[in-house]
């Protein structure tokens, strides 16, 4: 006998019957949905990743999630960590108020069997990746660390200077910028920096349409990882690539002078890039950011990119420096996650949608696959990033 007929036989009113059937249908749908969701994760290995910023959209991309689940049978959870906290706090989920509740303070460490541990650390800065592999400095209050089994400089994007056609044309006349195969390179970075040190104005070099002194806007190196990477590049330029302690100490006063002349700085690269796009060359003639920013814009907002495509210019400093998002693995499951980044489909998404160069340089991606023009297939003039101690020395000097 049908449910409706049975309820009628028992003397239940028609309106109540209708409500009861609706509720029953909702319950069935919820049960089916819940069981389907549970079943979709069956057979997948759980991976917990402590994750630095700058790649959230890429990691959450449905196609990337699908590749991890379907091809590599991995169900990945990403927890947000600042780079600095990865060496100061125990790298367990409880340190960022996740994982198990009510653990004793003594159990919140990487050696506790009770703590919710990570399989992977995915930093947004190579210096923290290198530093994590060292023994913790207990004199600085650093926490115990996992043993790193394997690792890779996984997602890469170079530091570039975003500018405008009028600005680039003037810098070409000043023999600061040269064009090779449609790519704009800053081939005399020292001359450009000297113009800034000397307080030259744009009109001094023939660009009367821009008011004020020549400047390159960046995020603050004291509070921002991209800013710190850029100032590491500046230090390498000022020392001529000799990063010995003697040369660094000689160059720091000059770097501090540059920092002082730069004036107000943003803390967030996304805000600075947005200001560059919206305010134009009058307000932001040159800014420092990552190559990936313009590729991601061209993919996510083609209309916005088309509005500036014929006006803007990407300047590649010679040398430049890579910003690398690095994977460190702590166990076999972590190694399986790292191995997924060899996947060609994943690498193509990373490049064409998010501007991350993945895999073998010049070989695992094709600049013709992205809409943005003026991007080199391969970068050959690269300076090494500084180690943690050198960065700390720069930041402390600038703060003081």
Write out pLDDT tens, residues 214-251.
Answer: 999 999 998 888 899 999 999 999 998 888 888 888 99
| Predicted pLDDT of residue 389 | 87
Q: Residue 176 burial by CB count (10 A; 0-12/13-18/19+): exposed, middle or buried? A: buried
Q: pLDDT by residue (tens digit) across 325-337?
A: 999 999 999 999 9
* Per-position b or e across 335-350, b if 16+ CB within 10 A of its CB: bbbbebeebeebbbbb
DSSP SS3 for 129: helix
Q: Beta partners for 178?
A: 185
Positive or negative CA dihedral for 326, 127, 194, 213? positive
| Residue 161 binned pLDDT confidence (cut-offs 50, 70, 90) | very high
Q: Is residue 123 a contact partner of residue 54, using CB atoms and an 8 Å limit? A: no
Q: 267: number of CA atoms within 13 Å, CB side?
A: 2
The pTM score is 0.86
**Neighbour tally for 264: CB within 10 Å:** 6
Residue 169 has pLDDT above 90, yes or no: yes
Separation CA 324–CA 385 (nearest Å): 10
Among left, alpha and beta (phi > 0; psi -120 to 50; other), residue 241 is: left
**Spatial distance between the Cα atoms of 386 and 389, rounded to a whole number of angstroms:** 8
**How much is the average pLDDT of 51-78?**
97
pLDDT band at 119 (very low <50, low <70, confident <90, very high): very high
In this predicted structure, the answer to whether residue 112 has a pLDDT above a threshold of 90 is yes
Contact present, 103 and 157 (Cβ < 8 Å): no
Range name among 78-82, 208-212, 265-269 with the lowest pLDDT average: 265-269
pLDDT score recorded for residue 363: 64
Which of 25-34, 146-155, 390-399 has the lowest average pLDDT? 25-34
d(CA 196, CA 192): 7
Query: In the predicted model, what is the mean pLDDT of residues 258-281?
Result: 88
pLDDT of residue 267: 73
Q: Does the pLDDT value for residue 324 go beyond 50?
A: yes
For residue 68, the 8-state DSSP code is I
């Amino acid at each position: 006998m049908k449910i409706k007929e049975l309820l009628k036989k028992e003397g239940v009113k028609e309106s109540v019957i209708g409500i009861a059937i609706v509720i029953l249908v909702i319950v069935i749908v919820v049960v089916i949905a819940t069981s389907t969701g549970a079943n979709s994760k069956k057979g997948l290995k759980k991976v917990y990743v402590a994750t630095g910023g700058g790649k959230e959209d890429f990691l959450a991309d449905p196609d990337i999630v699908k590749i991890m689940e379907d091809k590599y049978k991995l169900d990945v959870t990403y927890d947000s960590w600042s780079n600095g906290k990865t060496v100061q706090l125990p790298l367990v989920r409880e340190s960022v108020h996740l994982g198990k509740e009510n653990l004793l303070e003594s159990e919140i460490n990487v050696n506790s069997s009770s703590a919710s541990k990570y399989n992977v650390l995915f930093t947004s800065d190579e210096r923290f990746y290198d530093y994590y592999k060292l023994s913790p400095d207990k004199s600085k209050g650093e926490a115990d660390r996992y043993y790193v089994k394997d690792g890779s400089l996984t997602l890469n994007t170079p530091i570039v200077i975003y500018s405008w056609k009028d600005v680039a044309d003037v810098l070409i006349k000043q023999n600061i910028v040269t064009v090779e195969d449609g790519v704009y390179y800053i081939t005399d970075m020292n001359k450009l920096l000297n113009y800034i040190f000397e307080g030259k104005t744009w009109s001094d070099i023939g660009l009367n349409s821009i008011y004020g002194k020549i400047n390159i806007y960046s995020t603050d190196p004291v509070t921002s990882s991209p800013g710190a990477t850029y100032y590491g590049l500046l230090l390498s330029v000022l020392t001529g690539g000799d990063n010995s302690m003697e040369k660094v100490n000689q160059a720091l006063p000059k770097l501090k002078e540059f920092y002082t002349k730069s004036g107000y700085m943003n803390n967030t690269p996304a805000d600075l890039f947005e200001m560059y796009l919206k305010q134009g060359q009058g307000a932001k003639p040159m800014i420092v950011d990552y190559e990936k920013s313009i590729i991601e814009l061209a993919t996510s907002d083609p209309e916005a990119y088309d509005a500036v495509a014929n006006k803007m210019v990407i300047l590649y400093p010679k040398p430049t420096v890579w910003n690398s998002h690095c994977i460190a693995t702590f166990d076999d499951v972590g190694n399986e996650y790292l191995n997924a980044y060899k996947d060609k489909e994943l690498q193509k998404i990373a490049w064409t949608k998010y501007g991350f160069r993945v895999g073998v340089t010049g070989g695992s991606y094709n600049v013709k696959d992205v809409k943005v023009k003026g991007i080199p297939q391969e970068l050959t003039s690269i300076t090494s990033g500084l180690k943690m101690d050198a960065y700390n020395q720069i930041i402390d000097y600038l703060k003081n």
